[in-house]
Structure 1
C-alpha cells in the first residue's frame, strides 16, 4: 500500500494512504478514545462557513505572513489547548471545527500532474484498520454509505476552503488586515500585562472608512457578516486567557500567539 505524495503534511497528519477497496476491503473505522492528537495544538484552521458557529466559543484570528488563513484559538500559547478535559477528551457543548472532525481522512492528489483528488487517511491515527467493531468501509467491493458520507464531507471541506481563499483575497484587496496585538492584565499582576502577538485581524478603523458602495457589496456577498463574526469573537480573548490562567497554563508575561501556517 503506497503512501500518497506528501511533500508537507497538514497539521495532525503523520502519513497518508489512499483508501481503496482492494487493500481495505475488510477494514473498519473506530472512534477516537481521546483527543491526544490535538492536545498540544492551540490553533485550528477554520473555514468561513464556520465563522458564525465558531465565534461563540473561540477567538477567530488570521495567521501572519503573506497568505493569511483563519484559525480558531483553543489556547493563547503554542502547545496549550484549554479545551481538553482531564479525561483527555474535548469538552462537550462547544463547536468542533470541521478540520478536527475530518481527521484522519483527507482528500489529496495522488498525481502531481492531475487535479483529481482521492480519499486518503492517516494510518498513524490508529482508528482505521482491521478491527472487530466500527464503521465498515467497503461491502462487496463498493464503498458503504459511511465511506460515501466521509468522502462528501471532505469534498465539502475542500469547497469551503476555496470560499475561504476568496474571502481572504478580498480582505487583502481591501487592505483590511493589520498585525494584531492583545494586552491582558490579571488582577494580581496589574503592572505586568500579558501581551499576545503573531496574528492578524481586521482593522476596524479601515472598515469604517470603506465607501458606502463597498459596504453594500460586502453586505450582499455575505462578507460583512463574516468580518463582524471575527470581530465579535475577539471579545473571547480575555475569556480564553482566563481559562488558561485557571488551568495554570499561562506561559510568560510577554507571550506570542503562534499561528498555524
Structure 2
C-alpha cells in the first residue's frame, strides 16, 4: 500500500498575498495519481464505488481507514488510460479534491486550505477559475472548494468512527490478494484487511441489529462484495501489458487470509 500524500508535490496555504493572480484551469488529466495503487475512501462512497473497485481497509493501531485498490503494483494506477484520463465510472473524492487539501495544526483543531502549486492547471494567465478577485477576496470558486473539503472532513470523521466500531467488534482479518497474468508473472498485494465473514456471523443479535439500524451492516456487505473486483484488476493489467482480456480468464485472482 503506497503513501497517499505522494500526489501532492508542493502544497502551500492559499492566500491572497501569494495567490492573488492565480487561476485554476481544470484539465481532466489525472496523471498526478499515476503512481498510487490505493487511495482513502469515505464510507458514504461505498455504494457508488463498490461496483468497480475492491474496497479494503488499511492502517494500524493508531487508525484504520477504508481504501480503494487502484493497482497491484506499488507505483501503478490501472484506472488511468494512456491519455491520463480516469477509466472508471466513479472517481473517489480523494482524487477529485486535488489540487486542494486541508492541512491541520498539531492539535488538529485548525484547518488551512492548501493547494499543490505543482498542479499543471495552476496559472497566472487568467485561464480557468480565479482564486481571488481584484479586491483580494476569495472567489465563489474557492468558497465551493471549501464546502467540498469541509464535507469531506466531516465524512472522514464519520468513517473513522465506523472503522473504530469494526475494530472494537474485532471483525478485521489480515488479507492478501494474488494475480497471475497470462505472461506467467505473479503479483501479490499485502498489508490490508477485510471483514471476517465468520466473525460477522458470530455477532450477537443486538450487535447486528445496531449495525443494521445505522446502515453500517450495508457498508460491510458492500465491502465484502467489492472484493470480487480484484478479478477486474487482472483484466486491466492484461490490457495494459498489451494482451487480451480473454487471455487472462483461466488464471483466477485469489484472496486469502494472510499467514
TM-score for the superposition, normalised by structure 1: 0.83
Q: What is the number of residues matched between the two proteins?
A: 243
Structure 2 counterpart of 1:133: 127
Structure 2 counterpart of 1:118: 112
String of CA shifts for 1:155-191, please: whole Å, max 9, x gaps.
Answer: 11111110111011001100000011334556886xx
If each structure's helix is expressed as a fraction of its own residues, which one has the higher value? Answer: 2
Gaps of 5+ in 1: 1-7
Residue 198 (structure 1) shift: 2.2
Q: Secondary structure at the residue paired with 1:88?
A: coil
Moved more, 160-169 or 31-40: 31-40
Match status 1:179 vs 2:167? no
Q: 1:84 aligns with which of 80, 85, 101?
A: 80
User: Which 4+ runs in 1 deviate beyond 6 A?
Assistant: 186-189
Q: Distance in 2 between matches of 1:242 and 1:114?
A: 41
Q: 1:23 aligns with which of 18, 38, 60?
A: 18
Q: Distance in 2 between matches of 1:211 and 1:88?
A: 48
Q: 1:74 to 1:9 in 2, by over 3 A?
A: closer
Residue 113 (structure 1) shift: 5.9
Residue 11 (structure 1) shift: 3.4
Structure 2 counterpart of 1:3: none
Residue 63 (structure 1) shift: 1.4
Q: Secondary structure at the residue paired with 2:125?
A: coil
Q: Distance in 2 between matches of 1:21 and 1:182?
A: 47
Q: Distance in 2 between matches of 1:39 and 1:188?
A: 23
Residue 143 (structure 1) shift: 1.5
Q: Secondary structure at the residue paired with 1:125?
A: coil
Moved more, 193-202 or 149-158: 193-202
Q: 1:23 to 1:195 in 2, by over 3 A?
A: closer
CA contact (8 A) 1:64 1:179 kept: no
Q: 1:88 to 1:29 in 2, by over 3 A?
A: same
Q: Secondary structure at the residue paired with 1:121?
A: strand
Q: 1:102 aligns with which of 97, 103, 112?
A: 97
Q: 1:21 to 1:70 in 2, by over 3 A?
A: same
Q: 1:188 to 1:144 in 2, by over 3 A?
A: closer
Structure 2 counterpart of 1:206: 199
Match status 1:68 vs 2:64? yes
Moved more, 117-126 or 29-38: 29-38
